[in-house]
Amino acid sequence: MLNSAPPPPRKATAEFDVAVIGAGVVGCAVFRALTLAGLSVILLERSADILDGASKGNSAILHTGFDAPPGSREVQMMQAGRRRYLAERALFGLPVLQTDAVLVAWSQEEAARLPAIIDKAHQNGVTDVRPIELDVLRHRMPTLASSPIAALSVPGEHIIDPWSSPLAYVLQAMAHGGVVQRLFDVDTAERLGGVWRLSAGTRAVDAGIVINCAGNYGDHVEALSRPSPFAIRPRKGQFVVFDKTAQRHVPTILLPVPTARTKGVVVCPTIFGNVLVGPTAEDQDDRGVATVERSTLKHLIDEAARMVPALADEPVNAIYAGLRPASDQKDYIIEAIPGRHWVTVAGIRSTGLTAALGIADHVTELVEEHFLPLRPLQDLIWPSLPNLAEHLPRDHERPGRGDIVCLCELVTRDEIVAALAGPLPAGNLGGLKRRTRAMMGRCQGFNCLAAVCEMAQDKLLEAPPLPGGTSLDV
């Protein structure tokens, strides 16, 4: 049936220069870069908080790009993103855990693949990847099982806080006038008189340029503007998190010999003081739900204990799974569509935390090249993020701090109050957890959930789950 309603009025100018769809780590970084380039930008996110998609559940490794496909856009973006992160992180008070990595071959067949890995690393400009003697390896990681055949040293692979960094990008953009709309599920994109009108139900936003950063829904959002030339199929990664007592056994990132499809099961410290084992790589159709399976988790624990036997006696704190936004194309998809005033940023599957700032700079160049002159801002404001890293001073150590609400992770009442206030308060319990570490520890919120909910009551955009409802996801 023809729609007889009159078309909305044509607008010569848009409310915003740019609308970024999707507040994962990539969208947050793009939002920041374009705002700092002097444009008026709005960030639209369907969830009640930022980082509620792929970006909520990763391994948090700041990669060097040593094993990425040489010459790919991915390696360029990762290395540019890593450089920028390391150059700017101190201005935000963001932590880095300088662990480096060892890549260990456990069979002759794996050992035979090490020279090709060194070659690839050197092609990627990571020239300090080199073989390491087994006695040096044992000295570096005395807890390692006695059966390695050969190993490489991979300096520069580090661990970061996967949630505070994108939050810092958004807060800086907001301090310079960027606007964030959460619970804005873009369902229509219409081009009216040279302006994009993005709608979410009855609400609408007009912008001159759209940047699609929709992660696991990238092809759906693309299809709002044109038949999508790519398809997204999420690749699930399951993880096991060992208790803090386990970290003394894992001083560095322990990498396996990667396959063509996955980097394999990694054992690594987390910035929050735990040890992480995972992820798996399982293709699935569901874009929203990442389940964990008992048999897979048992396999991960067995693998961890095979490589680091002391982990067999360590308690497990948590389990979770993340969904990588994998596409049917080999490389990241980042392209401007000049006639449409649209930029696609899709298929940022396994390395987007590292690459985000590099991608953001590249998108900014595309916007300048194809669409708009930029007016980079001077005198930048650098919001300082509260420290959540275990190896640096935390709020609970501050003289005169009030009560501690989450006893497992030592989260103070003041930290929770602060996370529920400010320019971008937590929008849901997951967001509160990512801003404070509350509910992330041994009891997984069993002891503090009621107190946290009482504090958060009426402040969140999304109601906490009812008692007996589903467990919190990370």
Ligand X SMILES: Cc1cc2nc3c(=O)[nH]c(=O)nc-3n(C[C@H](O)[C@H](O)[C@H](O)COP(=O)(O)OP(=O)(O)OC[C@H]3O[C@@H](n4cnc5c(N)ncnc54)[C@H](O)[C@@H]3O)c2cc1C
Say if strands 203-212 and 195-200 run parallel, antiparallel, or are unpaired: antiparallel
**One residue of 221, 276, 297, 308 binding ligand X per CB under 6 A:** 221
**One residue of 95, 279, 358, 383 binding ligand X per CB under 6 A:** 279
Nearer to ligand X by Cβ, of 237 and 445: the residue is 237
Contact string 305-324 vs ligand X (x = CB under 6 A): -----------------xxx
Size of the site for ligand X (CB under 6 A): 43
Report the DSSP beta bridge partners of residue 102.
153, 254
**One residue of 178, 237, 269, 358 binding ligand X per CB under 6 A:** 237
**One residue of 34, 214, 304, 405 binding ligand X per CB under 6 A:** 214
With CA atoms as reference, report the closest residue to 160 among 85, 237, 49. Answer: 85
Nearer to ligand X by Cβ, of 268 and 448: the residue is 268
Stretch that binds ligand X, among 25-33, 90-98, 366-374, 421-429 (CB under 6 A): 25-33
Cα–Cα distance, 159 to 345 (Å, whole number): 25
Q: Which 8-state DSSP code applies to residue 394? A: -
Cα–Cα distance, 50 to 22 (Å, whole number): 8
Nearer to ligand X by Cβ, of 410 and 474: the residue is 474
Contact string 58-97 vs ligand X (x = CB under 6 A): xxxx-x----------------------------------
Q: Measured from the CB of residue 160, what is the shortest distance to ligand X in angstroms?
A: 9
Nearer to ligand X by Cβ, of 186 and 449: the residue is 186
**One residue of 14, 18, 19, 25 binding ligand X per CB under 6 A:** 25
Cα–Cα distance, 222 to 213 (Å, whole number): 10
Could you say whether residue 167 binds ligand X (CB under 6 A)? Answer: no
Residue owning tokens 């936004």: 325
Cα–Cα distance, 19 to 21 (Å, whole number): 6
Nearer to ligand X by Cβ, of 42 and 308: the residue is 42
Could you say whether residue 110 binds ligand X (CB under 6 A)? Answer: no
- Within residues 43-62, the interface with ligand X by CB under 6 A covers 44-47, 52-55, 57-61
Cα–Cα distance, 215 to 196 (Å, whole number): 20
Could you say whether residue 445 binds ligand X (CB under 6 A)? Answer: no
Could you say whether residue 217 binds ligand X (CB under 6 A)? Answer: yes
Nearer to ligand X by Cβ, of 352 and 448: the residue is 352
Cα–Cα distance, 263 to 279 (Å, whole number): 9
Q: CA 367 → CA 18, 179, 181, 243, distances in Å?
A: 10, 19, 22, 45
Record the tokens describing residue 398, joined without a space. 């501050």
Q: How many residues does the chain have?
A: 474
Residues 6+ apart with CB under 8 A from 350: 235, 263, 324
Stretch that binds ligand X, among 22-30, 69-77, 114-122, 202-210 (CB under 6 A): 22-30
Report the DSSP beta bridge partners of residue 128.
none
CB 210 within 8 A of CB 336: no
Could you say whether residue 327 binds ligand X (CB under 6 A)? Answer: no
Q: Measured from the CB of residue 237, what is the shortest distance to ligand X in angstroms?
A: 3
- Within residues 340-369, the interface with ligand X by CB under 6 A covers 348-354
Q: Which 8-state DSSP code applies to residue 102? A: E
Cα–Cα distance, 402 to 457 (Å, whole number): 20
Residue owning tokens 């005198």: 379
Could you say whether residue 26 binds ligand X (CB under 6 A)? Answer: yes
Residue type, 248: R
CB 439 within 8 A of CB 410: no
Residue type, 37: A
Nearer to ligand X by Cβ, of 46 and 244: the residue is 46
Could you say whether residue 22 binds ligand X (CB under 6 A)? Answer: yes
Chain contacts with ligand X (rule: CB under 6 A): 21-27, 44-47, 52-55, 57-61, 63, 184-186, 213-217, 221, 237, 279, 322-325, 348-354
